[in-house]
Structure formats: structure tokens, C-alpha cells
Structure 1
Amino acid sequence: MFRKLLFPVVLLLSAGFSLFLPGCKPREEELQTSGALAFSADTVKFDTVFTNLRTVTKRLWVYNRNPRGVNVDLIGLDRPATSAYTLLINGDLKQTATNLFIRGEDSLLVLVRAKLPDNGQNGAPKDYVLEEKLNFRTNGQDQHVLLRSFGQNIYLHDDVPLACNAVWTNDRPHVLYNSVVVPVGCTLRIKPGTRVYAHAGAALIVRGTLLVNSPADYAPGTAATDTVKATNTDIVRFSGDRSGEAQYATAPGQWTGIVLHASSRGNIIRYAQIQNATVGVLLYNPDNLSPRPDVLLQNAVIRYISGYAVSFAGSKSTLDLGAGVLSVAGKATMENTLFSDCYEYAVLGIGGGEYALNYCTIANYPATTSVRSTASLTFTNVAADGKTKNAGLTLSLKNSIVWGSIRDELFLDNYDDYSAGVSIQNTMLATERYAATANAPGTPGLAQPSLNNLIGTYSYNYPSFKSISTGPSSDYRLKADSPGLDRATQKAAPLLLRDLLNLPRDANRPALGAYHTTK
């Protein structure tokens, strides 16, 4: 009987005591009045920041390594009202935060972005370093993390038509935002050594004329040692505005590219490098108007190109495909030009057009070779609508190398419609489709002896390039054992007296491709 009465009494006493005893918190939620914070880095760095443009977002983790919670009295910048830095503290956009509780052995996240003010747009160009402290006060202790940006002032071209007959110089970088337009009847002249960086989705649209390192602006020497190397300061460079970051240096599809409208005439691109785009150069003439938009590419390098299913900074490319040169019924002349690491096409001609390649090297080995399924050189007289056949397609391919990671690097769609306008001579070509010694319906026989082509049994490096790798360490000059050397009696006119590096080409024993030298 006693035991039966004991249990209700204990239950009542427990309930009564619970009214007077404090609740028990987990240890990590208990507040301690000593101890400091730890950080994932002592400095948050932003490298090569262009003035007036927002940077990428960097993360700073703030750790409470103590077993119990701490109250962070203050998180704030030195100059919160005028700072070039923007903070997102624990999900809240604010420059200063107070009384933030961090549980024991827990953390909070601070996101940091920068937008540096111009440091001399109207004066002499210069680089500079902008530093500011991000301050933390916890339990009477002050701690700091340094925010540091290495900035450079720029010429910003943001969704505007350019002044007629504009000239871009190399005193500071030019950055493209959105669409930058060269108006009809006007010229954009880009001087030696100019650097052009394009933001995600940006395009340089030329309705007039584009002159890049034109002969009037740049004439390299003619001595045997006057080499124009890849590091030459006179080369004009087009790239994505994040190409300075290792993960984006060789990434394609970061910007749209150079677009030559149907009204564009007389374009020249010399001693230039175009990379990281959806298309290197797009000639857009969907109505097959005459005269065609045209471009002369000389001593140029076009690389890291792709448009297929490309997404960058949250925006998908508006094109389904990418090419080093993509021509919709345009006219493209290419000399001493290297196309490399294009994920789809090196040159794609749609809806007819006029194409000439002489002493060019197509070395199409993108980093992800498994994605490639299209021939590097592809031509069709079918218009962009996929139905209409346009009259007229001419192709001259001479003294060149066309090789890559797939077996057929040339495709001539509806060849019989324009066969009279096709001439392929003295070229090293990866092809099984056109490897016969005689023509057949719809299929030229490019191994005919009179054409002097090298149609080798496919291997990954039949041309014997010096180095094939993913990225800028590739070297597409020929090794001493290459079958493309010493083409004395096979050469096809016209001979180009100097190669991609501006070195003399032996008129009696010229090598195939853009590079004459093996050294």
C-alpha cells in the first residue's frame, strides 16, 4: 500500500521543483564571457580587379572554437558608409552587425564583394592596392581580417554605340559589358598591345569596320630574327574578364565574341588572339546579301571556343553552337592562323559564302575531347533556317594542317551543288570520308595524286606536333620528323613569305601549317 502511494507523491514533488529550477541548456548554447574567434583566412584577396565593376564573391568563415557560445558584439568595416566592399553577414546584406550569437564549436559566414572606384580615369593610368579592415569585437577583444584588392582602372564600354572612328589604345584595358556596337559607316581601330576583356554574354558588334593591328598601325620587322612570340606586347588580346583566374583561363563560352553584321565591310584582324568565347568571329548575313560581310584574319590565334549548352554566370549562350569562325553567308580569308581547342568547329560556313585558308593550322584538341563530334571544318549551302539552299559556296584550302581528336575533320554538305568552287591542295587532312583517290557522287577524292594532299592513317598526333596538352602549354609547331615539313614541289600558290611568328618561310621548302619553324 505504501509503494502505491509513493509514486504519486514523487511525481508531484518533481513537478513542483520544475517550477523553481532553471532549464538546462546544452553546453554549446551556454554563454561564456571569455574566448576569441578564429577565421578561415587572415586576408581576403581580390586579384586584378577592374575599377567600377563588381568582383566575384569571396567567402570568409568565422569560427567559434570554444566549447560554449560567444556573443559577437560587432562585425563591421572601417568605413562602412563609403567602403568599396559589400558584406553579406549570415545571410543579411549589411555593412555592420551587432550582438550575433555563435554557439560553441559553430561558425557563421561572411560574404565579401568589392567594387573599386576609378583611380584615375581622367589622369594617368595606374595600378593600385585598396585595403580595409573587417573588424570583430568579442568579449572585449578586437580582431581583424584584412580585405585587399589589387585594382586597375579601365575603359568601360557598357551597352553603347561607339563614337564614329573610335580608337582603342593600350594604356589601360578595355572591358565590354553587354553589346558594344561599331555603327554603320564607322571604324573601330584597335592599336597594338590593346587588351580587351569581355564580361559574361558581352559582344562586340561591328556594323561598320573593325581594324585590329592593321598594317597602318603595326608592321613587325623583316629580319630573320624578328619573331612575334605569344608573349609579344604588340599582340591584341580578346578574352573573358575572368580569364586571369586559373579555373577560367582556358574555359570557353565566357562571352559571345566578335559579330560582323551584314553591313560590315573591310574588316582586318592581324596579330591578335581571341579566346574564351562562344564564337571567335561571327559573320552574320542570313539574307545572303551581296557584297558579303568580310574579314581578313592574318597571324592570329583563336582558341578555347564553344557555344553548345554553355552556361556562364547564370546566362545560357543564345547560340546552339560555337566556332572559331562562324559564317552565315559571309566571306572569310584566313592566313597564318591557328585554331586550337575548339569544342565544336574551327570554321563553320552556313548558307554558302566564300572561304580561303592558306598556311593555317587547325589543331582541335579541346580539354574534354569526348564532347567533340563535329568536323573542325564544316561547310554547307543550306541556310540558317535549315531548309533553303543558297547558290554559291567557294572553298580554297591550301598548304594547311587540319587535324584533331576525331577521324573526320572535314565535312562538305551537299558537295555536288558547289563542287566546282572547291579547291583543296597540299594539305594534311584527317579524313576517312574523303580519302579516296577518285571522285564519287557527293564525295571528292582528296587523295588524288595531283592534289598533293597528305591523307594519313588517323592517329592522334599524325602531324607530329611538338606538344599536345590541355591549355596554353600546347605547342603546335612541327617536330623534325613531321611529314608536313619540306613540301618543296607540292606547295600551292600563293606562298606567304612569313609565318604566324613572323619568321621567314623558306620559299623553296615551305612547311605546312601556320608555323614554318620547328624551333
Structure 2
Amino acid sequence: MRFLLPLLLVLSCLTVLLPGCEPKEDLVTTDSSAMLSFSTDTVKFDTVFTTVGTVTKRLWVYNRNSRAVKVEEIGIQSQPGVTYSLLIDGDAGATARDKVIRGKDSLLVLVRATIDPTPSDEKPFLVENDLRFRTNGNDQQVKVVSYGQNAYFHDNVRLACDAIWKADKPHVIYNVALVDSGCTLTIEPGARIYSHAGAFLVVKGSLRINSNYKPAGELKPDDRNIVRFQGDRREQDYTEAPGQWGGLEFDASSHDNIIRFTEIKNASFGLLIYNPYNRQPRPKVTVENSVIKNISSASLDFASGGLSLQGAGLLGLSGDFTVRNTLLTNCWEYAIWGVQGCVYQLDYCTIANYITAPGSSPIRQTPSVLLADNIKINNQARPIVAPRFTMRNSIVWAQQRFAFTGGGQDEILFLNGERYAGNISITNSILLTKEYTAGPLSQNKNGNILNPTEGPNYLFKSTPARLRGKTYSYELDTLSAASNKGVPLPGVTIDLLNRPRDPATPDIGAYERKNP
């Protein structure tokens, strides 16, 4: 034992004098069998508009070996019509060299592409390239696939008077596209309009969408002649995501607006009439056979008016809406919001304001329909102007589990309604309400049906409360309380999909139920 302590002391000294030993995972191997592996064999960009950069895609590069490898070169070669950019370990460029990946570790490569216009038509075109990795004499590739599409771009532009937007290529709005006073924008059947974050189509003159279009027969929901507005993010995750762009705004001088066979989705609001000082004559918008969905916004600030607004499918500040055969759904704040002298005429409309969001369960604190006779601008109360609301053969419904303002479950609310009760007329409609279970809107008064308790989940074919199939459908179920409960309305002989209405006992809502 007397020799053990000196021996340990000698060994400690020798350890100090020896050179340091590198961990195994830091030793770089030059063995040609040390290959890389990847999180995917193809980096795919969904359809991107030409001249607009794609979103950034991630590619993980894995070193499954126990020792480190040196990647001599990582690169992608730009080709005519497309430019690529990479971000590798903080270094930006089209190539990177001598990147060491420790054993059992990984490297993140960020890829982005910008595609130039081509002479091709409106159809997407394919651009392919390889992202190359050279390690220990090995060449490995990951395919990079992009789909480009030519488009008309409207960026902070005052449109020419009597402009026509054709359907031969998509239209992309950045910031604002303005229809000036005294001018008209006509949008032809089948046009596709994509708007960047925060972008607006602002109408001071007139907007005509599908104004002369007459379908030959029943339309499918994906009919190519429907005009469609949505955000410009084309990835799958953004297909039905609310609040991606501003919306359509009609200012005080706007007039004679017609929107037919149109889908507006994923915006902060669908249609906004902005006339906060109640200038006369008020702007008017007619909406027919249309769908407005996936609407949500944080407060929208209009600096010129000192006014903050929440999102809505139809938002009227001293403006008039005439709406027929139209569906409003998935509006996170309001489906319809009207203040200060607004006029709403709704016939055969479905407000099925179920809230849907992938991976979450949002709670809406607002009713689907809200009207009031006053508003504050710059914290100054404006004069009281009574709104007018007429609804016939329509549905106002949603999930009953949501908590609304005041703790109630009303999907329709008239603030200070006692002051303009004579301006409210609701007939032959289905309402979800507790506030109006008595009085002129109550059960069986004027043909109304309130809070149907027998099979409320069977109003529609497929809802978030009763999902049948892969998608939601607000057409009527065979057991729907809305079947054959309407009354014929002059001049309205078709439903949202151009199907004929029953001439004697039509269905309530935007859809006429098809006989099996």
C-alpha cells in the first residue's frame, strides 16, 4: 500500500503531460462509406407567383456516423428563370464549403426560390433542380421542385377607369388596389384574386363581379366560373386560415356595386362599407349567390377616421347591403356587424357561424349578428342613426357552447333595439337566441323557429358538431327543421348553387335541399 500513493501521483503527472484526447464524435472521418442522410428526398414548394419569393423550406441533414464528417460543398445552381438562396449554419448564399457535422449530429439548411415570369399561360409550370452535397468523394442530391405561375400584379395602384380583370391569369394585390371615384372595375367569371398580407381592394367608384354571368345549370362548389378572393399563401396550411389579408372596402363615394357567384375567404373582413360620417347617398352593395368564410382580425385601425374595427363578414358603417342566397361561416368576431344607419336586407341567407381552426378551439365572445344605432369616432359619439334590418327565409346558427358578450348565447343582438324596434323585421327564419324568445321575433311569430330542440345538429349535412365526411357542408340535412318552411319571395327563384327553389314551399337558408 505504501507504494500505491506515489504510483497514483506519477500517473497523474503523466496524464497532464500527454496531449488532450478529442471526443470520438469530433474526429473527422475520411472514409467514403460515411454518407449523409436527409429529412426528405425532395424539397417541394407549392405554387408560387412569379417574381415573388417562396416561403423558406427546411431541410435537415443528418450524420448518422459515430465520427464527424466534413461536407466539402453544399450548393444549388440557379438556372434561367429561377434564383435560389440558402442559409446554412448562419451563412447565406448559393453555396457553402467545409461544413463539419459532428458524429450523430445534424445540420439545418434553409432553402428559398424566386421564379421569373415566362411566356406561358395561366397554368402552373414546373421548375426542378438539385441541392448537392459532396462528402469524402461522395456526391448526394436532394431534389428541389417549384411550381411557378404567371400573374397580374397590382401594387399600390390606382386602377384605370373601366378596368377589366380577366381570368386568363391570377391577379395579385399588394398594399392597395384602388378603384377611383367615377370609375368601375369589372371582374369576369373565373377570375382568381390573391392578396398579400394587409392588402385591400378599395372601391371609391363601382365594383362589378360576375354581374352579367348566367349559369347554364346547377353549379358545383368548385365551379371554374366562380370568382375567388383569398390570401397569396399557397401552402396547404393556409388553405382555410382566417385573417391573411384585408378585404374589400367600399368608401363613402362608392355606388352600384354588384357581387355575384363569388367566394371571399381568409380575410380580416369580407365586405366593408366605410362611411363613418353617414354621407348621403350611402354606399350600396348587392351580394348574390356568394360565400364569405374564414374571417378574423385583430382590431383594424383606420387612422384617417380614428376608428378601430373588429373583423366581420359584412361590416356596414352607414351603408346598405342587399344579400341573397349567401353563406357566411367561420367568422371569428362577427358575421354581420352594422352601425349608424346601416340597412341590411337578407333573403335566403345562411349564417352558420361555427368556428373552425386546425388544432385549436377558439372561443368567440361576440354574436354572429350585431346592430347598433351609434358609434364613437375619436372618442366622440356620433349622432344616433337607427339601422334597418330585414331578414326573410334565413338561418342564424352556430355552436351553442360559445360564451358570448354578457354571458348569453344569442347569435343575434340589437343594441338599443328598443329605439328602432320598428325597423326590425325577421320572418320565416331560424334563430339561435335567448334574448328574443318573446315579442315579434318569438317562436311561430311571423313564421320564425327559435332554438329548435329536436335535432339541432341536423340542420346541416356536416358541421364541426357533427362531421360527416371530410369537409363541412351547410346544405340542409334530410331531417333539417329548415326544410319546406320558407315562403316564396318575388324574384328569387334559385338557391346559392343555381338550383331551382320550390315555388310553393321553399327551404329556409342559402341552399334548397335536393330530392334524393
Q: Does 1:246 align with 2:236?
A: yes
Task: Classify 1:355/1:15 alpha carbon distance in 2 versus 1 (closer, same or farther; 3 Å).
Answer: same
In the alignment, the residues of structure 2 paired with residue 70 and residue 448 of structure 1 have an alpha-carbon distance, to the nearest angstrom, of: 76
User: Partner residue of 1:196?
Assistant: 193
User: Partner residue of 1:185?
Assistant: 182
Query: Residues 78 and 84 of structure 2 are in contact (CA less than 8 Å); yes or no, is this contact kept in structure 1?
Result: no
Q: 1:331 aligns with which of 295, 320, 325?
A: 320
Q: Offset at 1:486?
A: 2.2
What is the letter of the counterpart of residue 347 of structure 1? I
Q: Offset at 1:516?
A: 1.7
User: Partner residue of 2:433?
Assistant: 431
Q: Offset at 1:448?
A: 6.8
Gaps of 5+ in 1: 311-317, 439-444
- Secondary structure in 2 matching 1:491: coil
User: Partner residue of 1:475?
Assistant: 473
RMSD: 2.6
- Secondary structure in 1 matching 2:289: strand
In the alignment, the residues of structure 1 paired with residue 368 and residue 335 of structure 2 have an alpha-carbon distance, to the nearest angstrom, of: 5
Q: Does 1:138 align with 2:135?
A: yes
- Secondary structure in 1 matching 2:418: helix
Q: 1:229 aligns with which of 202, 206, 220?
A: 220
Task: Classify 1:261/1:10 alpha carbon distance in 2 versus 1 (closer, same or farther; 3 Å).
Answer: same
Identical pairs, percent: 45
Q: Deviations over 1:431-487 (max 9, x none)?
A: 111111x3xxxxxx3127551211234578366212213798222222333232223
Task: Classify 1:272/1:496 alpha carbon distance in 2 versus 1 (closer, same or farther; 3 Å).
Answer: same
Task: Classify 1:220/1:344 alpha carbon distance in 2 versus 1 (closer, same or farther; 3 Å).
Answer: same
Query: Residues 323 and 345 of structure 1 are in contact (CA less than 8 Å); yes or no, is this contact kept in structure 2?
Result: yes
Query: Residues 434 and 446 of structure 1 are in contact (CA less than 8 Å); yes or no, is this contact kept in structure 2?
Result: yes
User: Partner residue of 1:101?
Assistant: 100
User: Partner residue of 1:209?
Assistant: 206
Q: Does 1:400 align with 2:394?
A: yes
Q: Does 1:28 align with 2:25?
A: yes
Task: Classify 1:253/1:17 alpha carbon distance in 2 versus 1 (closer, same or farther; 3 Å).
Answer: closer
In the alignment, the residues of structure 2 paired with residue 71 and residue 82 of structure 1 have an alpha-carbon distance, to the nearest angstrom, of: 32
Query: Residues 503 and 517 of structure 1 are in contact (CA less than 8 Å); yes or no, is this contact kept in structure 2?
Result: no
What is the letter of the counterpart of residue 238 of structure 1? F
What is the letter of the counterpart of residue 403 of structure 1? W
User: Partner residue of 1:354?
Assistant: 343
Q: Does 1:53 align with 2:32?
A: no
Query: Residues 77 and 84 of structure 2 are in contact (CA less than 8 Å); yes or no, is this contact kept in structure 1?
Result: no
In the alignment, the residues of structure 2 paired with residue 472 and residue 106 of structure 1 have an alpha-carbon distance, to the nearest angstrom, of: 40
Question: Which residues in structure 2 correspond to 1:258-407 (within 5 Å)?
Answer: 258-308=248-298, 321-367=310-356, 370-385=362-377, 387-406=381-400, 407=409
In the alignment, the residues of structure 2 paired with residue 459 and residue 325 of structure 1 have an alpha-carbon distance, to the nearest angstrom, of: 30
Task: Classify 1:505/1:16 alpha carbon distance in 2 versus 1 (closer, same or farther; 3 Å).
Answer: closer
Task: Classify 1:82/1:174 alpha carbon distance in 2 versus 1 (closer, same or farther; 3 Å).
Answer: closer
Range moving further from structure 2, 466-475 or 363-372: 466-475
In the alignment, the residues of structure 1 paired with residue 484 and residue 280 of structure 2 have an alpha-carbon distance, to the nearest angstrom, of: 40
What is the letter of the counterpart of residue 356 of structure 1? Q
User: Partner residue of 1:508?
Assistant: 504
What is the letter of the counterpart of residue 363 of structure 1? A
Q: Offset at 1:83?
A: 5.1
What is the letter of the counterpart of residue 514 of structure 2? T
In the alignment, the residues of structure 2 paired with residue 129 and residue 484 of structure 1 have an alpha-carbon distance, to the nearest angstrom, of: 48
Query: Residues 78 and 135 of structure 1 are in contact (CA less than 8 Å); yes or no, is this contact kept in structure 2?
Result: no
Query: Residues 335 and 359 of structure 1 are in contact (CA less than 8 Å); yes or no, is this contact kept in structure 2?
Result: yes
Query: Residues 32 and 68 of structure 1 are in contact (CA less than 8 Å); yes or no, is this contact kept in structure 2?
Result: yes
What is the letter of the counterpart of residue 110 of structure 1? V
Task: Classify 1:79/1:404 alpha carbon distance in 2 versus 1 (closer, same or farther; 3 Å).
Answer: closer
In the alignment, the residues of structure 1 paired with residue 455 and residue 111 of structure 2 have an alpha-carbon distance, to the nearest angstrom, of: 46
Range moving further from structure 2, 346-355 or 447-456: 447-456
Query: Residues 352 and 379 of structure 1 are in contact (CA less than 8 Å); yes or no, is this contact kept in structure 2?
Result: no
Gaps of 5+ in 2: 301-306, 401-408
> TM-score, normalising length from structure 1?
0.88
> TM-score, normalising length from structure 2?
0.89
In the alignment, the residues of structure 1 paired with residue 456 and residue 298 of structure 2 have an alpha-carbon distance, to the nearest angstrom, of: 26
In the alignment, the residues of structure 2 paired with residue 388 and residue 289 of structure 1 have an alpha-carbon distance, to the nearest angstrom, of: 13
Q: 1:412 aligns with which of 407, 414, 422?
A: 414
Q: Deviations over 1:183-239 (max 9, x none)?
A: 222111110011111122211111111111012xx1123xxxx10221211100111
Query: Residues 480 and 518 of structure 1 are in contact (CA less than 8 Å); yes or no, is this contact kept in structure 2?
Result: no
- Secondary structure in 2 matching 1:371: coil
